[in-house]
Chains A and B, each alone.
Chain A
Amino acid sequence: MKRTLFALFLITTLLICFACERRGNETNGSGTGPILVGYYGDLSGRTSSFGQSTKNGAEMAADEINKAGGINGRMIQIITEDDQGEPNKAATVVTKLINQDKVAALLGEVASSNSLAAAPKAQEAKVPMISPSSTNPAVTQVGDYIFRVCFIDPFQGEVMAKFSANNLKAKRAAILYDFNSDYSRGLYEFFKRSFISQGGQIVSEKSYTQGDRDFSGQLTAIRAANPDVIYVPGYYGEVGVISNQTKQLGIKAPLLGGDGWDAPQLWQLGGASLNGNYISNHYSVDDPSPAIQKFVADYKARYNILPDALAALGYDSMKVLADAIKRAGSTENVKLRDAIAQTRDFPGVTGKITLDKDRNAVKPAVVLKLENSKFVYETTIAPEGSAPAGTSSAPASGGTSAGPAGAPAPPAKAASPTN
């Protein structure tokens, strides 16, 4: 017994000696070699299609930049890590990227819950992190090294509420949301608040879990409540089927959703039942603008599938980072952080990106109508000038640069009615 313990002790000590390093001089990213960018996301778990799409977009962007000569002569090298969609692993993986791989910046994560787990590590190590698609306001509140290139839940939820009240003249709305998804819940809460503040009424609130196969129970109950519109802020996998089952139950009300609908598989799953629905999105794959069409064509050629919203955001996040590195002239963390924070009107495929003082992206949302397997542009809703004066939804538009109401401390969540 004693011998074994001693042996163990000896082995451990030796291992430790081999593995130790000096403390006090940890820096990331400065230097002249290739620019190391860490990408972390779910590549093999339940939501791996999201992580994969985003990665594709980022990699394509990096290759484009490298082909054009890199940034100030330095090539971008992406180091990828898989967190399997678990927040605990996201934190571990980010630690590895920062400390072992010494990346200059991080791209990730798709899901707010994973971003929230990992962001403190990035903030503590003073490594800038840009999230392509985490929409929960709390993510960028972690610290001044955390950024995002997408809009936040308060804004997107509000967009659809405004659209249904003003454009569709809806008075009664039902909501069917994914209760396991922070994104879906966020949109649900803000839609509800905004819709009610415009005089509308929420007649039914039902939920499901990602992976559920049957929604007829919820939909039948919703049908009985007789809504004008049904808000379904979930992901395409379930939404396609929900749309189908809605039609089979004879429900006529249009479905409304967010950018989580945007994926090529949506059409295969929902088919003709999707016609007449609307979503809010960053961009439209059918937007005729040459920049977007080139992006779509390049992506299709490279990956053999049309890009979804996540791929576009991944692409933009890498481009924004590269642009910031160029402007900063180095990858030294303070300079890089400041450069990213100063991103103004950057022409991304997901819109003109400006980062406000809360490090969130200010850009308009487009409302698209679904018709014959295409997203057809319907209207744009911009952040400024869309918040009706004097309503309690003012904190909800905290994603805008306008207004003193954009205080960093508990913003929209503070007034959340759902306790």
Chain B
Amino acid sequence: MDTFVQQLINGLNVGAIYALIALGYTMVYGILRLINFAHGDVYMVGAFAGYFIALSFGLAAGPSLLSLGIVLLGSMIVAAIVGMIIERFAYRPVRKYSRMTTLIMAIGVSLLIENLFVARIGAAPRAFPDFLGSQSQPPIHLFGNAAISKAQIIIFLVSIALMVLLQWVVFKTKVGTAMRAVSFNLNSAKLMGINTDAIISLTFAIGSSLAAAGGVLTAQYNPNIDPLMGILTGLKAFVAAVLGGIGNIPGAVLGGLLIGAAETFVVGYGSQIGIASTYRDAVAFAILILVLLLRPSGLLGSTVQEKV
């Protein structure tokens, strides 16, 4: 039983990060019907931004919530700017072209970011400074063998806080209403006097900053950061967004947590039914295929009629 609880904790931990990234995917898709392939790389950029900020401010490892706060905020800002730049110079010019053009453009941007990083700072992993003391502080025991570390608790709390914040922004502010309007119908929103370009930029900014938060938080749990870390994680977060219902914000959170849990359970218990832990990555894709076949609108999404 304690193993089960442990795996659950592990799964939710992984899932919280997926959820943060999935939010960005779902928001951008809701507005532009575009899968932002480069989003996973923004997560990576966020992690590295945090790394370099910590380096340049001389923030040493060792438990310090203040350091974490600085690094988190800094990386979120940097990522927001990066997200807006990508939108403005890569996606906006091709918005009026066909879907395939934008898709290829997204792939191109993603590759560019990854390879630029690899070429400039090398593919070798770096160690992100640990501000939560996960390397030294003992875990908190729950019962039996199940343990949760302080780092995991904080990661959870911060993720939830950010998601609640997002929910508030989207549903309780004017800007949020504008965002929802744009996602409902771009042209009508324009007619209502909403500056759609600015709203789209803002959406990218918010989504990117959430991904960056995910990057910094995951680096607390696993200090190994490298330029290619965003590829697979980004894809899985995308699957999470689809699972929850793309375009649906609570759906993204639900999807993220579910995928995290599913992965962890397959890895932990899969060998008992013949699935080696090597199939971990396949879990997300398998879920994607099932969702798209059985319930394409996702768990919380609503079906959209395709108009001719």
Contact = CB atoms under 8 A, between A and B. Distances in A.
Interface of A: 44-49, 52, 179, 205-209, 211-214, 216-218, 220-221, 223-224, 237-238, 240-241, 244-245, 247-250, 265, 268-273
B226 interface: yes
B141 interface: yes
A339 B197 CA distance: 71
Contacts of B233: 213
24 contacts: A49-B122, A49-B125, A179-B276, A179-B278, A208-B280, A212-B280, A213-B218, A213-B229, A214-B10, A214-B221, A216-B10, A217-B10, A217-B266, A220-B6, A221-B3, A224-B145, A240-B127, A241-B223, A244-B222, A244-B223, A248-B147, A249-B139, A268-B126, A268-B223
Given A218-B267, A220-B10, A271-B130, A207 B135 contact: no
Interface in B196-255: 218, 221-224, 226, 228-229, 232-233
A295 B150 CA distance: 42
A138 B123 CA distance: 28
The 4 A-B residue pairs with the shortest CB-CB distance in the complex, in nearest-first order: A268-B127, A49-B124, A217-B267, A271-B135
A250 B141 contact: yes
Contact of A47 (B13, B123, B147): B123
A18 B221 CA distance: 59
B264 A244 contact: no
Contacts of B271: 205-206, 221
Given A217-B7, A241-B222, A248-B149, A46 B125 contact: no
B264 A216 contact: yes
B126 A46 contact: no
A169 B264 CA distance: 32
Contacts of B277: 206-208, 217-218
> Taking each of A213, A216, A250, which has the highest tally of chain B beta carbons within 10 Å of its own beta carbon?
A216
B136 interface: yes
B14 interface: yes
Given A209-B280, A249-B6, A250-B141, A221 B269 contact: yes
Given A48-B123, A221-B271, A224-B3, 20 more contacts: A49-B123, A49-B125, A212-B280, A213-B233, A214-B10, A214-B13, A214-B222, A217-B7, A217-B11, A217-B263, A218-B268, A220-B6, A220-B10, A248-B149, A249-B147, A265-B125, A265-B127, A269-B127, A271-B135, A271-B136
Per DSSP, chain A at the interface is: helix
A217 B264 contact: yes
Contact of B126 (A209, A216, A265, A270): A265
Kindly state the interface size class of chain B when it binds its partner.
35 or more
B308 interface: no
Contact of B229 (A179, A211, A250): A211
Contact of A44 (B6, B119, B263): B119
A220 B269 CA distance: 10
Contacts of B119: 44
A195 B281 CA distance: 30
Contact of B224 (A52, A237, A271): A237
A364 B229 CA distance: 37
Contact of A244 (B135, B147, B276): B135
A207 B266 CA distance: 12
A335 B141 CA distance: 66
Interface in B262-308: 263-269, 271, 276-278, 280-281
A86 to B, nearest CB: 14
Contacts of A212: 280
A237 B267 CA distance: 20
Contacts of B123: 44-49
A211 B10 contact: no
A150 B139 CA distance: 40
Contacts of A268: 126-127, 223
Contact of A48 (B11, B122, B134): B122
Contacts of B13: 214, 216
B223 A269 contact: yes
A240 to B, nearest CB: 7
Contacts of A206: 267, 271, 277
B149 A207 contact: no
Nearest to A224: B3
Q: Which of B139, B221, B229 has most chain A Cβ within 10 Å?
A: B221
A201 B17 CA distance: 37
Contact of B268 (A49, A208, A221, A245): A221
A206 B271 CA distance: 9
A48 B118 CA distance: 9
A47 B228 CA distance: 11
A128 to B, nearest CB: 30
A207 B276 contact: yes
Given A44-B118, A46-B123, A49-B122, A209 B139 contact: no
A82 B134 CA distance: 38
A211 B119 CA distance: 18
Interface-centre pick from A47, A220, A248 (highest chain B CB count, 10 A): A220
